[in-house]
Amino acid sequence: MVSMMSILKKAKQKHRLIAGLASLALSLCLLSILALCVFAVIQVDGISGMEPVIRDRDYVFINRFELFPSAGKIAYISQGKEKPAVLRRVVATGGQTVEINYNENTIYIDGVPFDDPYKTELMLPAGDIHYPFTVPQHEYFVLGDNRNGAIDSRFSYFGTVKQEQIIGAAVFRLYPYGDIAWLS
């Protein structure tokens, strides 16, 4: 015959298990909501001005709270309702002076060569802005890593990026799985 203590012990264990599972489910729900509010996952569609770092069909994790990206970070930029958002690398911020010397294949920020490990080929002259160019306050000068195939701040019709246009910063490539990586 089953004792009363044995029944109470089993009931207590069952109660702990149910409470633990409920706590886990609530934690997962809250974490999912937080992740959806803080992060977004986008799929790059079309030829990317960020190749070879980010390519067509890559899935990229965007931190929506990183609204003031520093030089070297990849910003996710709104171009308004008519055009899709784009990814571009921040090269200079408000008040800094940009100069691109195509003969030397070098970008200078305030007279100092920009650390540019992303360039993969000789940068061809592009754009219609005049150098030296001083970035307006609260704006960003951005370039695509694929310098010869990107539309970016070198072109007056793209221009510098206003703070309000920054949706977030790319932090991680999720797909393809063989190329999962942190993005700097």
Same domain, yes or no: 14 and 62: no
Same domain, yes or no: 2 and 64: no
Same domain, yes or no: 89 and 8: no
Same domain, yes or no: 154 and 79: yes
With cut-offs at 50, 70 and 90, classify the pLDDT of residue 56: confident
Residue 15 has pLDDT above 80, yes or no: no
The residue ranking higher by pLDDT, 102 or 172, is: 102
Same domain, yes or no: 30 and 60: no
Same domain, yes or no: 171 and 80: yes
In the chain, the largest separation of any two C-alpha atoms, in whole Å, equals 93
Residue 1 has pLDDT above 60, yes or no: no
DSSP line for 31-97: HHHHHHHHEEEEE--SS-TTTTTS-TT-EEEEETT--SPPTTPEEEE---SSS--EEEEEEEETT-E
Same domain, yes or no: 137 and 167: yes
pLDDT 10s digits, 58-74: 889 898 888 888 999 99
The residue ranking higher by pLDDT, 16 or 7, is: 16
Same domain, yes or no: 78 and 154: yes
With cut-offs at 50, 70 and 90, classify the pLDDT of residue 96: very high
Same domain, yes or no: 93 and 109: yes
Same domain, yes or no: 19 and 91: no
Same domain, yes or no: 51 and 78: yes
pLDDT of residue 149: 87
With cut-offs at 50, 70 and 90, classify the pLDDT of residue 172: confident
pLDDT of residue 13: 79
Give the chain's domain count.
Answer: 2
Same domain, yes or no: 22 and 106: no
Residue 101 has pLDDT above 80, yes or no: yes
Query: What is the residue range of 122's domain?
Result: 44-182
With cut-offs at 50, 70 and 90, classify the pLDDT of residue 154: very high
Contact assessment for residue 170 and residue 184, using Cβ atoms and an 8 Å cutoff: no
Q: What is the CATH number of the domain that holds 116?
A: 2.10.109.10
pLDDT of residue 2: 64
**pTM exceeds 0.85 for this model:** no
